[in-house]
Structure 1
């Protein structure tokens, strides 16, 4: 691994045998020639996910594998990966392969461009032509509309797993389970700007979704009130000066 890493890709996975290894190879192909690392965080999978990824380490030198001892959820997986990351810029993808790694360089370029707004902390993907069932799309649309109206975060698609953000900005965010779905609002709360970019969306390969429509909607509504409370309790110092 090079001493200076410019881009860390974090992928939380749980029971993604048949998907994770293919995704790792795709990431390597897309980022070939860049100074990067990819950190797959195995959230105590019960299948062969961990073994399949471990077998790839000799083939893919940029691959790092971190394993949770107990299942802790996707948000904890993202946080574990960001804490382990060595680059100042971090990208995330869902482990099921539905996010397209080819979008990562586009989001990275938008975040790091010379004329980016001051304090731009994150560029998040907005999925187009979603390859999900009608019921899943409708439940997601309902939850997104309610959340966007309540939080005023400008995010039309908070469930998209593909994001690129500054590591230092992420580490300032309050952690809680499912916080990955509220990152735009949490970034804004800390004084960072957030932008969005349309991204590709693909069919799931092996396995099945870890969430039900009703389960996802119920969790989002519970968390929504918590994030609204966090927003109400935020106080900004307007910047700091060393005296």
Structure 2
């Protein structure tokens, strides 16, 4: 339903200015240019994170003090007190929206839902377990606002990992293999902290696991990426909703799927209306 609504939205095309020079035609979302975003949408994919969400939302509010923002919690089929936690935040005056999946569909689908329903012109993603520190959100947004034209992804890269050695090893192996095959110039794509203009986010090809390949998918559109080192924290409450070996096996299949997408999207003509 959301996808159908987006397909019906009007698309803009640049008009050729007088004097004979023609501006590029936009066949989708408007071009990415530096400037201040009017509203920041912070998307939190969360499954059974009722204890972590209140702390995380308050940290987001402190980090974005002085800016217009909304927090969009994508409740991925939670069975705990997530609804009650969000109601308490709303009663306290926090700009929190509760978007619920009727069943758990995974982090990628939750991120996708958040990008589709966001009201802001930029989407910032952050994990719901509290391991991502919201104080880095302004820095990510600034990389887009102050960076060169065409910068469409600001990605956090974790330092001081707090995960188990096995999880760190599997992450390092996956990141190394991905970087060698996709050449996406990114050390760590598993960090949940990312900022992407909403219009760009919505036009990226979707598949399960896509949130780990955003740098490559953004580069496929002919757009640039920027990075920010961020500090990894320990989870306060609960346990991880994602395994290691099952994710690794699926990730290898996804990797070659993205490689195929990159190979099939190399020709990008300059489009002009005459």
TM-score by length of 1: 0.94
Q: Which residue of 2 aligns with 1:136?
A: 167
Q: Tell me if structure 2 keeps the 8 A contact 1:26–1:101.
A: yes
Q: Which residue of 1 aligns with 2:109?
A: 76
Count of residue pairs the alignment pairs up = 238
Q: Which residue of 2 aligns with 1:227?
A: 258
Q: Which residue of 2 aligns with 1:60?
A: 93
C-alpha separation in 2, matches of 1:219 and 1:24? 31
C-alpha separation in 2, matches of 1:236 and 1:167? 24
C-alpha separation in 1, matches of 2:241 and 2:94? 30
Q: Which residue of 1 aligns with 2:227?
A: 196
Q: Which residue of 1 aligns with 2:47?
A: 14
Residue 119 (structure 2) pairs with residue 86 (structure 1): yes
**Which of the two has higher C-alpha Rg?**
2
- Match for residue 75 of structure 2 among 36, 42, 50: 42
Q: CA deviation at 1:5?
A: 4.4
C-alpha separation in 1, matches of 2:229 and 2:101? 32
What secondary structure, in the 3-state scheme, does the structure 2 residue paired with 1:171 have?
Answer: helix
C-alpha separation in 1, matches of 2:157 and 2:266? 29
C-alpha separation in 2, matches of 1:60 and 1:102? 20
Q: Tell me if structure 2 keeps the 8 A contact 1:172–1:190.
A: no
Output one character per residue of 1:181-234: Cα deviation in whole Å (capped at 9) or x when no partner.
000000001111111110111000111111222122112111111111111111
Output one character per residue of 1:12-42: Cα deviation in whole Å (capped at 9) or x when no partner.
1011121112111111121122111111110
Q: Which residue of 1 aligns with 2:218?
A: 187
Output one character per residue of 1:65-102: Cα deviation in whole Å (capped at 9) or x when no partner.
11111221111111111111111111110000000000
Structure 1 stretches lacking a partner, 5+ long: none
Residue 197 (structure 2) pairs with residue 166 (structure 1): yes
Residue pairs, 1:86-125, within 5 angstroms: 86-113=119-146, 116-125=147-156
- Which of structure 1's runs of 4+ aligned residues deviate more than 3 A? none
C-alpha separation in 1, matches of 2:183 and 2:111? 24
TM-score by length of 2: 0.84
Q: Tell me if structure 2 keeps the 8 A contact 1:125–1:161.
A: yes
Q: Tell me if structure 2 keeps the 8 A contact 1:15–1:49.
A: yes
Deviates more, 1:229-238 or 1:131-140: 229-238
Structure 2 stretches lacking a partner, 5+ long: 1-36
Q: CA deviation at 1:235?
A: 4.3
C-alpha separation in 2, matches of 1:156 and 1:54? 38
C-alpha separation in 1, matches of 2:86 and 2:227? 31
Q: Which residue of 2 aligns with 1:147?
A: 178
- Match for residue 64 of structure 2 among 6, 27, 31: 31
